[in-house]
């Protein structure tokens, strides 16, 4: 982990493209969610896939997070330097991945979510060989249809097996409501359905004395509805630390809650109706707005959200000027909020923390990649 020495410098001294985080906004986002989870008696276990930086996990833990969530072995390794409670929310099937997880420092309370007998048996035998006990959460599918067991009977079978095998310890269930991406104002029927399906899984487990100690759920789009699924014991939002254009479009944050942007320079205005900047798909990423909300393009200007990125080449971003009278000069700088912040962060070597026009500190995106 490297924390750059922090000589405060002017934003104008940065080369573009450069990833920026407005520290005031990020801190406000962290405080808001820490306050919400405290108020509702929920444990917060942020997913670090959004920032991939131990320094920012520390900021989350300092505000009361109970531990962290990771997807990759690299994230687990990097976060183990600052967190002693790590949930791997990804099935451990590849033996190399499992070996890296089992080699984490012994003080780390490790849990893993999985949905198959194969991954459970592999994990248990590797853990027993390593002399380690790993917590198991049975992942259940409550509508996302990505991973997760499909029926209470299947959840019961895995939980019972986890109870029997050496090397693992049954701790509870996990789900990810990533399918609920409509505007927050119309999420309630989906949240009610989620609650009902979760309750059916939990009733089956309780009936066989497999009452979960942990029920792990939550996402950024549904974050402030988490208390409406009261059997959850913890939530795992990731995006909320920075937010992005999708989160704002869904209504899970305001536009001014977007902490992350890519600083870019206008390099051409030669083609009428557009301006071209030096941030392309290799710094912004090409994901559409995800969810049942409509907004064209791949990102929008922080100061002028009506100006969106209508096209991307690898190193060119094409700004659509049809909804504005603003006509930028070549050389002018802009800040672009991407549709999906996690992918943009993963493309950056470093991120710069700014307040107003000053770069206060910078950090490496240390956990990006896999090695």
Ligand X SMILES: Cc1ncc(COP(=O)(O)O)c(C=O)c1O
- Residues in contact with ligand X by CB under 6 A are 47, 69, 89, 176, 219-221, 236-239
CB of residue 249 vs ligand X: minimum separation in angstroms? 14
> For residues 78 and 137, which CB has a smaller minimum distance to ligand X in the complex?
137
Residue 367 near residue 349, CB atoms below 8 Å: no
In what helix (H) or strand (E) does residue 264 lie, and over which residues does it extend?
A: strand 260-268
Smallest distance, Å, CB 336 to ligand X? 19
Torsion region of 97: left, alpha or beta (phi above 0 gives left; psi -120 to 50 gives alpha): alpha
Which residue's entry shows tokens 């997913």? 47
Nearer to ligand X, 92 or 221 (CB): 221
What is the token pair recorded at 226? 């988490």
CB closer to ligand X out of 291 and 353: 291
CB of 112 to ligand X, least distance (A): 12
Least separation, in Å, of the C-beta of 277 and ligand X? Answer: 26
Smaller CB distance to ligand X: residue 287 or 320?
Answer: 287
Q: Quote the CA–CA distance of 291 and 352 in Å, as a whole number.
A: 29
Compare residues 172 and 237 and give the one whose CB is closer to ligand X.
237
Nearest to 290 by CA among 183, 140, 217: 183
Q: Are 38 and 371 in contact (CB under 8 A)?
A: no
The minimum distance between CB 329 and ligand X, in angstroms, equals 36
Contacts of 236 (CB under 8 A, 6+ apart): 45, 46, 47, 69, 87, 89, 176, 216, 217, 218, 219
Closer of 232 and 362 to ligand X (Cβ): 232
Closest separation in Å from C-beta 235 to ligand X: 8
CB-neighbour burial class of residue 290 (10 A; exposed 0-12, middle 13-18, buried 19+): middle
Cα angle value 249/68/298 (rounded, 5°): 25
Residue 220 CB, shortest distance to ligand X, in Å, is 3
For ligand X, give the closer residue by CB, 104 or 147.
147
SS3 49: coil
Q: Which is nearer to ligand X, 250 or 266 (CB)?
A: 250
Are 165 and 131 within 8 A, CB to CB?
no
Question: Is the separation of the CB atoms in 180 and 222 below 8 Å?
Answer: yes
> Angle 299-305-311 (CA atoms, 0-180°, nearest 5)?
35
Closer Cβ to ligand X, 137 or 276, answer by number? 137
- Minimum Å distance from CB 355 to ligand X? 25
Query: Using CA atoms, how far apart are residues 324 and 209, in angstroms rounded to an integer?
Result: 62
CB of 107 to ligand X, least distance (A): 24
């Amino acid at each position: 982990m490297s924390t750059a020495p922090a000589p405060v410098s002017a934003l104008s001294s940065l080369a573009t493209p450069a990833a920026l985080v407005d520290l005031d906004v990020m801190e406000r986002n962290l405080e808001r969610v820490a306050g919400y989870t405290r108020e509702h008696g929920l444990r917060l276990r942020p997913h670090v896939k959004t920032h991939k930086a131990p320094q920012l996990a520390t900021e989350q833990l300092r505000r009361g997070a109970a531990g962290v969530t990771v997807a990759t072995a690299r994230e687990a390794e990097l976060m183990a330097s600052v967190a002693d409670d790590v949930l791997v929310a990804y099935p451990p099937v590849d033996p190399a991945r499992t070996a890296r997880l089992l080699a984490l420092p012994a003080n780390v309370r490790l849990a893993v979510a999985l949905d198959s007998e194969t991954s459970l048996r592999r994990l248990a035998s590797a853990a027993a060989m390593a002399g380690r006990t790993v917590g198991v959460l049975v992942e259940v599918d409550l509508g996302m249809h990505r991973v997760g067991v499909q029926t209470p009977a299947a959840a019961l079978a895995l939980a019972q097996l986890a109870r029997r095998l050496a090397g693992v310890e049954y701790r509870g269930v996990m789900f990810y409501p990533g399918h609920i991406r409509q505007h927050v104002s119309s999420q309630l029927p989906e949240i009610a359905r989620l609650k009902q399906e979760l309750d059916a899984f939990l009733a089956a487990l309780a009936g066989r004395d497999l009452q979960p100690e942990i029920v792990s759920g939550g996402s950024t789009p549904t974050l402030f509805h988490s208390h409406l699924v009261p059997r959850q014991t913890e939530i795992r939002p990731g995006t909320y630390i920075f937010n992005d254009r999708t989160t704002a479009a869904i209504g899970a944050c305001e536009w001014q809650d977007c902490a992350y942007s890519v600083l870019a320079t206008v390099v051409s205005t030669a083609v009428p109706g557009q301006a071209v900047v030096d941030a392309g798909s290799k710094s912004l990423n090409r994901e559409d707005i995800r969810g049942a909300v409509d907004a064209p393009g791949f990102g929008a200007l922080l100061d002028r959200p009506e100006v969106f990125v209508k096209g991307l080449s690898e190193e060119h971003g094409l700004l659509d000027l049809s909804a504005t009278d603003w006509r930028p000069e070549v050389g002018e700088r802009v800040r672009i909020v991407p549709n999906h912040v996690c992918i943009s962060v993963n493309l950056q070597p470093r991120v710069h923390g700014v307040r107003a026009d000053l770069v206060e500190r910078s950090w490496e995106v240390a956990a990006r990649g896999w090695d």
